[in-house]
Amino acid sequence: MSQQNGQGPGEDAGVFQMARQQFNAAADKLGLDDGMRAVLGSCKREFAVNFPVRMDTGDINVFSGYRVQHNVVRGPAKGGLRFHPDVTLDEVKALAMWMTWKCAITNIPYGGGKGGVTCNPKELSMGELERLTRRFATEISPLIGTASDIPAPDVNTDGQIMAWIMDTISMHAGYTDHGIVTGKPISVGGTLGRTEATGRGVMITAREAAKRLGIMLEGARVVVQGYGNVGYWGAYLLQQMGCKIIGASDSRGAIYAEQGLDTYKLLEHKAESGSVVGYEGSEGISDAELLALPCEVLIPAALEQSITRDNAEKIDAKIIVEGANGPTTPEADAILEDQNIMVIPDILANAGGVVVSYFEWVQDIQHLFWEKDDVDNQLESIMTRSFNSVIDASEEHDTSLRTAALLVAVDRVAEAFRMRGVYP
């Protein structure tokens, strides 16, 4: 019996500390007492599992996985599952905390959760991926549930993986439980508009920010770091509004095209070749060069801590819209603020996904499904209202949009905790 990737991932102490640093900045401004800081600054549940999977060769490998619930005073835990070689418990804790604030800032009745498996899904066959997913779902089944903790897709996971999880838990229960996960295919209880929801939220917040700054979107240059689901849909929808996508990247490299990239054809090229690199009419550049391209809108939609104190000064954008979770470190935030670059924080910018996940969950519970226009219109309303609430808080407290977003979110969670009290 062999061990996958050695034994478990190394602990990355930086990411959760970064999330707590952001929280503490808001807690200071809100004047939270030590007890409230202790409650909101820690995770309610941290669940780690090491589980066997039979590979196609017949060998058995052991994988490490996690499910964390940060806070559930406003409702069931909600958050994605990611399959990635660099998944750590520390990272999942940070992502769960950000999910709590994301749900609060959009005022949907969820708390924050997150999960993941330390693996490289690109090295797994479809059969191995299914067996890994079903076994992991079984391992975390004591935590997840329609009324307790609802997973969703994240990095390297999709509707098929959600369908496997739903089926696995339904087999345990003896009946079909549509609401156990969101981000499912339409055929098994998914919602229209979910695939592009996070990217649509990125587009809406970018559009609203451009209005605030007096930037015309027609001809505005956009750079996308991380041309996955979020990056593609954000770029595609902005292109539909007249923007010019001049740069894009994925895990294998980056490209630049002064005349602009066709977002859909670039997606087709990536599907065929495995990367955006080599797209006709583009030139290859480094990721560092991509982030430094002069543009109106920069969308970091890859992984955490992409923008740091080492590269923040080189960024030449008017607006940064955080499609990824935690792409900007606190040190970089300070540099960007000095450069008068508007940063739309992750807990607001990429909240479209969890908002439409909430819509899917409601539809599953009611067994009544909406038209796509209803989904898009409701998302538009919530994202616009949330953006304006953050702008108002920023002006009232004379602070960055990140701190303002956290002020709104943390205050809502703290108020819910006060009203519920401490049991027993």
CB atoms within 10 A of CB 60: 13
| Fold that domain 197-349 belongs to in CATH | Rossmann fold (3.40.50)
**151 phi and psi angles, rounded to 5 deg:** -70, 170
Summarize the chain as % helix, strand, coil (round to 5): 50, 20, 35
55-302-65 Cα angle (round to 5): 35
d(CA 211, CA 216): 8
At a CB cut-off of 8 Å and minimum separation 6, what does 204 contact?
Answer: 352, 379, 380, 383, 384, 387
Banded pLDDT at 37 (limits 50, 70, 90): very high
pTM, 2 dp: 0.93
- 114 annotated active-site: yes
- The pLDDT > 90 percentage for the chain reads 95
CATH 3.40.50.10860 domain range(s) in the chain: 2-176
Beta bridge mates, 62: 3, 52
d(CA 355, CA 43): 22
Query: H or E stretch including 70?
Result: strand 60-71
Q: What is the pLDDT of residue 10?
A: 36
- Residue 1 scores a pLDDT above 90: no
Q: How many CA atoms lie less than 13 Å away from 283 in the CB half-sphere? A: 6
- CA distances, 80 to each of 66, 83, 112, 158, 324 (Å): 11, 10, 10, 10, 13
- Residue 36 scores a pLDDT above 90: yes
d(CA 313, CA 318): 13
Banded pLDDT at 14 (limits 50, 70, 90): confident
DSSP secondary structure code for residue 314 in this structure: G
Burial letters 253-281, b for 16+ CB under 10 A, else e:
bbbbbeebbbbeebbebbeeeebbbebee
Mean pLDDT of 247-267: 97
- Residue 115 scores a pLDDT above 90: yes
Q: In the structure encoding, which two tokens stand for residue 335, read together?
A: 């540099």
Residues 206 and 177 sit within 8 Å (Cβ to Cβ): no
Banded pLDDT at 53 (limits 50, 70, 90): very high
- The pLDDT > 70 percentage for the chain reads 97
CATH 3.40.50.720 domain range(s) in the chain: 197-349
Catalytic residue among 78, 93, 102, 114: 114
Residues 77 and 110 sit within 8 Å (Cβ to Cβ): yes
Question: Following CA atoms 328, 330, 335, 338 in sequence, which dihedral angle do they give, to the nearest 10 degrees?
Answer: 110
Banded pLDDT at 221 (limits 50, 70, 90): very high
Residues 75 and 47 sit within 8 Å (Cβ to Cβ): no
Q: In the structure encoding, which two tokens stand for residue 369, read together?
A: 């499904």
Mean pLDDT of 147-171: 97
DSSP secondary structure code for residue 188 in this structure: G
Residues 49 and 116 sit within 8 Å (Cβ to Cβ): no
Query: H or E stretch including 163?
Result: helix 159-173
**Helix ranges (DSSP H) in 275-398:** 287-291, 330-338, 346-349, 352-366, 372-397
Tokens 């559009």, located at residue:
207
CB atoms within 10 A of CB 252: 12
Banded pLDDT at 84 (limits 50, 70, 90): very high
Report strand pairing: 60-71 vs 111-118.
Answer: antiparallel
Q: What is the mean pLDDT of the chain?
A: 95
Query: H or E stretch including 16?
Result: helix 13-30
Q: Return the axis-axis angle of helices 372-397 and 89-105, rounded to nearest 10°.
A: 90
Range 2-176: architecture per CATH: 3-Layer(aba) Sandwich (3.40)
- Residue 12 scores a pLDDT above 50: no
Mean pLDDT of 240-257: 97
